Structure 1
């Protein structure tokens, strides 16, 4: 509610100045829980959103520590769920997925743990198979092109999706897009 945000923020600041931290903590906890009702969030995202609502850094840290302690905020689990969705809906190479998670504020340890959790659930992640799936989806659009141009465009597509050059070459070769002149 745009008209109420400023006054609530002012009340929170006043409560903090008066030493009423318990009221501020309760309000921050409620705000965090409302945010978590809608979707899973990273620690970084919750911190940013609570800061935008005017909560003090100390209050935010206390609330997040409690939420971490009870498992409501878990960046490794967030990474697992994100990877599971992306590998299924819009395949990309590990490098690209890792960058996306890092942009969302997930640390390298949680990214690695998220991948471990996903691999424990589904088995090893096979980038070559994913690259071939991307090629199969894109092949129709590139069907009428000159073979060299087709290969260049498909290579560029896979590179943008974060696949490494060895995986790209193997996927193109397996898909019948071998270079005309070797």
Structure 2
């Protein structure tokens, strides 16, 4: 026999159902509630969304406006809140782009096209992107590419030169380096490795593929 429990007499049932709702359902309720807010209440709630994002990590204007709108607030309100955060120095797209480029370049070795794609996804303006990328000189790229290639030396022992060349150039291309920078870095490294090897060194007597 199925027992019926009146939600009025058992409020914990409503709480249990609330916890069982899907993330999509919970977000829909949040969006509906936020959309109904007006005046200072709406501004404060939207500002809280932005500040929570900034507490986690630095963000671009576009990321913050998208986050605010995604919680049910209007585009106009999102713009108003982000403008205010920018005015007080909590949002700075150029500083954000500059730091992101430096971090990715020094950390993962990403450069050129790969970095540009990241900055575009962040919603940054073209002028800001170009200024951020200009921090990396041609010499910086060549040096970083050489470092990335050097890390692969041990794993390529015994690999025919042409195969090693293709693998290394592909690796640099995925990280955003131009064909000329990649080719120069790889050729220089392969020539150095071969010149520094002896007939007794296993793997560095290059074979022709």
Evaluate the alpha carbon distance shift between residue 130 and residue 42 of structure 1 in structure 2; reply closer, same or farther with a 3 A threshold: same
Cα pair 2:49 2:67 within 8 Å, conserved: no
- What TM-score, normalized to structure 1? 0.83
Q: Distance in 2 between matches of 1:26 and 1:134?
A: 47
- Partner SS for 1:92: coil
Asked if residue 94 in structure 1 is aligned to residue 112 in structure 2, the reply is yes
Q: Could you state the TM-score of these two structures normalised by the residue count of structure 2?
A: 0.73
Separation in 2, partners of 1:147, 1:124 = 26
The match for 2:201 is none
Aligned length: 173
Matched, 1:168 2:182: yes
User: CA 1:112 to 1:137, structure 2 compared with 1: closer, same or farther past 3 Å?
Assistant: same
Distance 1:90 1:67 in 2: 31
Q: Distance in 2 between matches of 1:69 and 1:113?
A: 21
Give the match for residue 33 of structure 2.
Answer: 11
Question: Does the 8 Å CA contact 1:93/1:131 hold for their aligned counterparts?
Answer: no
Q: Do 2:116 and 2:129's aligned partners in 1 also have CA atoms closer than 8 Å?
A: yes
**Structure 2: runs of 5 or more not aligned:** 1-18, 193-205
Q: Match for residue 14 of structure 2? A: none
Q: Which runs of 5+ in 1 are unaligned?
A: none
Note the 1:100-179 alignment, pairs <5 A.
100-115=118-133, 118=135, 126-177=140-191
Q: Give the equivalent residue in structure 1 for 2:48.
A: 30
* 2:74 corresponds to 1:56: yes
Answer with 1 or 2: which has the greater Rg: 2
Aligned partners of 2:125, 2:50: CA distance in 1, in Å?
21
Equivalent residues of 2:101, 2:115 under 8 A apart: yes
Aligned to 1:72: 90
* Greater displacement, 137-146 / 4-13: 4-13
* 8 Å Cα contact 1:147/1:177 also seen in 2: no
Higher RCO (CA 8 Å, separation ≥ 6 residues): 1
Shift of 1:125: 6.1
- CA contact under 8 A between 2:47 and 2:81: conserved in structure 1? yes
Cα distance in 2 between the residues matched to 1:39 and 1:142: 38
Structure with the higher helix share, 1 or 2 = 1
